[in-house]
């Protein structure tokens, strides 16, 4: 368990996310991300949190909200597939989710508290998986995907967006 998935376990468009995750304990990675992301963003002012680096781009609050929403969707998929549910799972429109979430009306500390709650939930789910379900595959967004791949996508997706936050928002 806790090994990177092979490229046959997920659609090619997730390769970048999985490549961003270092070898080693995924549990440690997810825990470290929780600490590092919370520390990075907890000193941000509301003005900075509402910043858009370009017209039509999400605010920093919306990016954090997007990370949470995606983690929830991927964790739900992970749960369903890990439990043997072979029902094909629908995709989702991340722009629509952000639009409907009203992250702009919430404080950054409130959003970060929710982020921590979502991550702790993901950690509990992943830590409770048996080794035999780690490679189990299902269908999500019309493509085959494994429990392992979904776990690594969660970590890699956050790493991807934290890089953007550092480069575009915290300048």
What span, in angstroms and rounded, lies between the C-alpha atoms of 43 and 53?
19
Q: 112-144: per-residue pLDDT in tens?
A: 999 999 999 999 999 999 999 999 999 999 999
Which residues make beta-bridge pairs with 145?
Answer: 138
The answer to whether 17 touches 152, Cβ cutoff 8 Å, is yes
Q: What is the average pLDDT score of the chain? A: 96
pLDDT of residue 66: 98
Q: What is the pLDDT of residue 3?
A: 82
Q: What pLDDT score does 24 carry?
A: 83
Return d(Cα 146, Cα 103) in angstroms, integer. 31
Q: What band does 1 get if pLDDT is binned at 50, 70 and 90?
A: low
pLDDT, one tens digit per residue, over 19-68 is: 999 988 899 999 999 999 999 999 999 999 999 999 999 999 999 999 99
Over range 77-85, report the average pLDDT. Answer: 98
Q: What domains sit in the chain, N to C, each tagged with a CATH number?
A: 12-169 (1.20.120.450)
The beta-strand segments (E) located in the chain are: 137-140, 143-146
Radius of gyration of the chain (CA): 16
Interatomic CA distance for residues 112 and 135, integer angstroms = 31
The rounded distance, in Å, linking the Cα atoms of 122 and 116 is 10
153 is written with which tokens?
Answer: 């996508």
Q: Answer whether residue 2 shows pLDDT above 80.
A: no
Q: Which residue has the tokens 């992943």?
A: 126
Closest CA to 136 of 77, 73, 69, 71: 77
Q: What percent of the chain has pLDDT over 90?
A: 96
**Rounded Cα–Cα distance for residues 147 and 112 (Å):** 26
pLDDT at 23: 86
**C-alpha to C-alpha distance for 15 and 55, rounded to whole angstroms:** 28
């Amino acid at each position: 368990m806790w090994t990177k998935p092979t490229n046959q376990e997920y659609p090619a468009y997730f390769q970048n996310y999985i490549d961003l995750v270092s070898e080693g304990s995924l549990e440690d990675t997810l825990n470290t991300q929780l600490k590092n992301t919370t520390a990075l963003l907890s000193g941000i002012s509301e003005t900075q949190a509402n910043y858009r680096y370009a017209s039509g781009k999400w605010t920093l609050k919306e990016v954090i909200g997007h990370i949470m929403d995606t983690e929830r969707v991927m964790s739900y998929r992970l749960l369903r597939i890990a439990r043997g549910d072979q029902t094909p799972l629908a995709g989702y429109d991340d722009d629509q989710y952000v639009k409907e979430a009203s992250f702009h009306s919430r404080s950054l500390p409130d959003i970060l508290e929710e982020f921590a709650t979502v991550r702790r939930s993901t950690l509990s789910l992943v830590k409770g998986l048996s080794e035999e379900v780690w490679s189990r595959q299902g269908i999500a967004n019309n493509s085959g995907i494994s429990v392992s791949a979904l776990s690594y996508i969660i970590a890699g997706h956050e790493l991807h967006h934290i890089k953007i936050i550092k480069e575009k928002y915290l300048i």
